[in-house]
Amino acid sequence: MSSSRQICVFPSPAELALSLSQLLVHESQGTCSFRLALSGGSLVQLLSRELPKTAGLNTAGWKVAFCDERLVPFSDPESTYGEYKRQLVPHGLLSESQFVTIDPALPVEEAAVDYTKKLRELFPDDGLPAFDLLILGIGPDGHTASLFPGHPLLQVTDKVVAPISDSPKPPPQRITLTLPVINAAKTVVFVATGEGKATILKRILQEEESDPLPAARVSPVRGKLLWFVDEPAARELTCPVEKHSVL
């Protein structure tokens, strides 16, 4: 468990979204280069609704990569980048050139190598890429990014990006950041909403297991770990939390 873990509980997804946008303002202030990694799913709609109306947000120096991506054309609804392109880019906050994307035409192993190269260009220093902010979701099975319970990719320590061809959640072919890269981030934020996440959230945050779920393995080495959850998702938690209307 991260010693700097902070669990923030909000009344609803709307207050959570506002607070997440304010966090992005705070974390990106005072830097000419802000490197962000996003997840897909419900986070796309959440950010697309809130970011365009967030005061004080300057995205000019942003570069946006992805915690994982499905190996499908950008026109496919399963494409995380494709969804951000369709839902967020039209608001004018970010341009297509600010996104670091996979090449979906490549075989999955080559796509992982290609994406690693692009991240190395984004982080020219030696060592692991260290994102300024990385936003993750969790699945009902405790997976995060495309790191699934019991999967061999949880043990990978020598890659920045790993390919997966047998994802238990379709589509089967994906690329994902590895745990060492996730844990190298300066700030990691998990976002979880809805009562359907309550049981798995309690397991991740409160139960010690010999073989921890993927989301429970996220513990930034030198950064901070934030959990942004709404009240329905937090209803089974008995550990200390901070209740907010907004941050």
SS3 readout for the chain: CCCCCEEEEECCHHHHHHHHHHHHHHHHCCCCCEEEEECCCHHHHHHHHHHHHCCCCCCCCEEEEECEEECCCCCCCCCHHHHHHHHCHHHCCCCHHHECCCCCCCCHHHHHHHHHHHHHHHCCCCCCCCCCEEEECCCCCCCECCECCCCHHHHCCCCCEEEECCCCCCCCCEEEECHHHHCCCCEEEEEECCHHHHHHHHHHHHCCCCCCCHHHHCCCCCCEEEEEEECCCCCCCCCCCEECCCC
Query: Tens digit of pLDDT per residue, the chain (247 long)?
Result: 444 799 999 999 999 999 999 999 999 988 889 999 999 999 999 999 999 999 889 999 999 999 999 999 999 999 999 999 999 999 999 999 999 999 999 999 999 999 999 999 999 887 899 999 999 999 999 999 999 999 999 999 999 999 999 999 999 999 999 999 999 999 999 999 999 999 999 999 999 889 999 999 999 999 999 999 999 999 999 998 998 877 6
CB 137 within 8 A of CB 125: no
Note the pLDDT tens digit of each residue in 105-150: 999 999 999 999 999 999 988 789 999 999 999 999 999 999 999 9
Prediction pTM value: 0.95
The pLDDT score that the predictor gives to residue 1 is 43
- Give CA–CA dist 233/23, Å, rounded: 20
**Domain boundary assignment for the chain:** 6-243
- Give CA–CA dist 222/225, Å, rounded: 10
Fold held by 6-243: Rossmann fold (3.40.50)
Tokens representing residue 52 in the block: 């365009």
CA 15-78-145 angle, 5° bins: 65
The pLDDT score that the predictor gives to residue 2 is 44
CB 99 within 8 A of CB 84: yes
Burial 21-57 (b: 16+ CB within 10 A, else e): bbbbeebbeeeeebbbbbbbeebbebbbbbbeebeeb
